[in-house]
């Protein structure tokens, strides 16, 4: 996958609570697990030039730890996925829904604190391919050296090198890549190295346009550590047409500048939690449009977990191609929107269930569908073999069928 931007229509690539601790806790530096309050110290108040006291926004006292995922070792699988044996238990931390953050970052010292905290987990990725060397960024999200980056950064790579913010250089192996979401997972190689500094993965579920956003990456392969830019979340749920690959769905749009080479870096919220993996920059015939896009971290995390466990990501589909219902049709049908079925592929789940060209899908498993993108994104939460109720309109009449989902063909 490569940078690009929105297309009008889209084919459908249908795609533990912890026990209370007993006894005194070890010092933070001796623990894999950190409470978010240890990761997000609030900056001290500072006096303004007018003698008043600026109201400082908290660089995050997180209300609670949503959950921890314990991963023991890795499962070996075919296709470039290898494992030399089980490793120690690792903890991936997530954070609570974001509190409102002023979009203008009234306390610049807070941005500095976030950058200093997250920078050690941002690295530069160099992939050597038959066509040359491509450069991008990566985010260390597990202390054993697992890294999130873009699939297009490492596409066709014969060897991969990563450079940490400290300047240390390491070889890295490609654990797996998913072109559908433009997410890839690397693992840093090196005897006796680690644990590595990690970024805290948050959630994009509660994002709203206007919220603060910080982009951090390694643009243009420059030495000297990551670069930091500041902006806001400009929009959510964007559909981005890439230059040479499939359409990216449910993307975060930001005006925080994302330079070439920053692909695979982190988009952070106002507390420093990762909300997305930067992927694409909007361009036109006149050049860069000044805003970029990021894959929501919730999607990136799910894809990464599957890749680590099995070596690949699995996507479901119904077996239809479609587009958004336009305003005229929506008005005629009395709906806000829907996914218009333009083709039903023979022998697929949709065909078996009785869906036909011209049907308008308006609901899947009780979730409202107002576009083809919403249909695809909704299906991502299911697994092959699951049966889901699909509500559709045909000739203005509402009907329901049950569709048994299948795995999306790899060559689609």
pLDDT digits (tens, 9 = 90+) for 196-240: 999 999 999 888 999 999 999 987 656 667 889 999 999 988 888
Instruction: Return d(Cα 283, Cα 275) in angstroms, integer.
Output: 23
What's the pLDDT at 258? 83
Q: Assign 298 to helix, strand or coil.
A: helix
Report the C-alpha gap between 387 and 365 in whole angstroms: 9
Which two tokens mark 198?
């990690």
**Residue 407 to residues 292, 338, 383, Cα–Cα distance (Å):** 31, 23, 8
Q: Residue 250 catalytic?
A: no
In CATH, what number is assigned to the domain containing residue 217?
2.40.10.120
Same domain flag for 146 and 267? yes
Spatial neighbors of 51 by CB under 8 A, at least 6 apart, are none
Cα(371)–Cα(126) distance, rounded to whole angstroms? 37
- Residue 394 sits in a domain whose CATH number is 2.30.42.10
pLDDT at residue 223, as a whole number: 66
Verify that 383 and 253 share a domain, yes or no.
no
Instruction: Please provide the size of the chain in residues.
Output: 412
Domain holding 334, by residue range, is 316-407
Q: What is the pLDDT of residue 267?
A: 95
- Kindly state whether residues 68 and 212 are assigned to the same domain: yes
Q: Which helix (H) or strand (E) holds 81?
A: none
Among residues 260, 278, 313, the one where a domain terminates is: 313
Query: Are both 350 and 301 inside the same structural domain?
Result: no
Dump the DSSP string for 382-398.
S-TT-EEEEEEEETTEE
Which residues of the chain carry a pLDDT beneath 70?
Answer: 1-109, 191-192, 220-224, 243-246, 280-290, 411-412
| Residue 394: inside a domain | yes
pTM reported for the whole predicted model: 0.68
Do 130 and 193 sit in the same domain of this protein? yes
Interatomic CA distance for residues 122 and 170, integer angstroms: 14
48 is catalytic: no
Per the structure, how many domains does the chain have?
Answer: 2
Final residue of a structural domain among 252, 284, 313:
313
Instruction: Please pick, among 152, 234, 262, 269, the residue that the annotation labels catalytic.
Output: 152
Say if 248 falls within a structural domain: yes
290 lies in some domain: yes
The residues, ordered by sequence, that sit 6+ positions from 84 with a Cβ below 8 Å of its Cβ are none
pLDDT value at position 107? 57
Specify the pLDDT at position 409: 83
Tokens of 224: 């000297």
State whether 207 and 235 are in the same domain: yes
Q: Identify the active-site residue in 14, 107, 155, 182.
A: 182
Q: Strand 406-407 to strand 316-317: parallel, antiparallel, or no bridges (unpaired)?
A: antiparallel
Same domain, 155 and 281: yes
Residues 172, 76: one domain?
A: yes
Q: Which of 218, 164, 221, 222 is nearest to 193 (CA)?
A: 164
CB 97 within 8 Å of CB 203: yes
pLDDT for res 171:
95
- pLDDT of 412 reads 66
Active site (annotated) includes residue 5 = no
Rounded to whole angstroms, the Cα distance separating 292 from 256 reads 7
Which entry of 218, 234, 263, 363 is annotated as an active-site residue? Answer: 263
Q: Are residues 88 and 109 in the same domain?
A: yes
Residue 287 pLDDT: 43
Determine contact, residues 187/222, Cβ cutoff 8 Å: no
């Amino acid at each position: 996958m490569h940078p690009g931007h929105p297309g009008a229509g889209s084919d459908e690539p249908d795609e533990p609570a912890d026990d209370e601790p007993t006894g005194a806790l070890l010092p933070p530096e001796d623990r894999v697990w950190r409470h978010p309050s240890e990761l997000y110290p609030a900056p001290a108040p500072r006096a303004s030039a007018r003698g008043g006291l600026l109201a400082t926004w908290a660089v995050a006292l997180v209300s609670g730890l949503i959950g921890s995922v314990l991963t023991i070792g890795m499962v070996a699988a075919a296709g470039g996925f290898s494992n030399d044996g089980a490793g120690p238990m690792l903890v991936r931390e997530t954070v609570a829904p974001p509190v409102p953050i002023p979009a203008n970052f009234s306390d610049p010292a807070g941005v500095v604190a976030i950058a200093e905290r997250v920078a050690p987990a941002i690295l530069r990725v160099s992939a050597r391919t038959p066509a040359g060397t491509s450069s991008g960024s990566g985010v260390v999200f597990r202390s054993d050296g697992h890294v999130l980056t873009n699939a297009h950064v490492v596409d066709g790579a014969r060897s991969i090198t990563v450079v940490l913010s400290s300047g240390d250089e390491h070889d890295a192996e490609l654990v797996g890549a998913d072109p559908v979401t433009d997410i890839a997972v690397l693992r840093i190689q090196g005897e006796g190295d680690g644990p590595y500094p990690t970024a805290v993965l948050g959630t994009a579920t509660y994002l709203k346009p206007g919220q603060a956003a910080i982009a951090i990456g390694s643009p243009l392969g420059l030495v000297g550590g990551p670069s930091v830019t500041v902006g806001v979340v400009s929009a959510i749920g964007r559909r981005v047409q890439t230059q040479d690959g499939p359409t990216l769905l449910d993307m975060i749009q930001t005006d925080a500048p994302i330079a070439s080479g920053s692909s695979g870096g982190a988009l952070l919220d106002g507390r420093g939690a990762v909300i997305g993996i930067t992927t694409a920059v909007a361009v036109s015939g006149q050049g860069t449009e000044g805003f970029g896009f990021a894959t929501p971290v919730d999607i990136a995390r799910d894809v990464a977990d599957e890749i680590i466990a099995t070596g690949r990501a699995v996507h479901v589909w119904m077996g239809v191609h479609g587009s958004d219902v336009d305003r005229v049709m929506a008005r005629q049908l009395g709906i806000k929107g829907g996914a218009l079925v333009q083709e039903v592929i023979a022998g697929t789940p949709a065909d078996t269930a009785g869906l036909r060209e011209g049907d308008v899908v308006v609901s899947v498993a009780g979730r409202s569908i107002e576009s083809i993108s919403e249909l695809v994104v909704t299906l991502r939460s299911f697994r092959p073999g699951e049966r889901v109720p699909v509500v559709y309109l045909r000739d203005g009449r509402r009907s329901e069928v049950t569709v048994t989902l299948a795995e999306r063909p790899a060559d689609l």
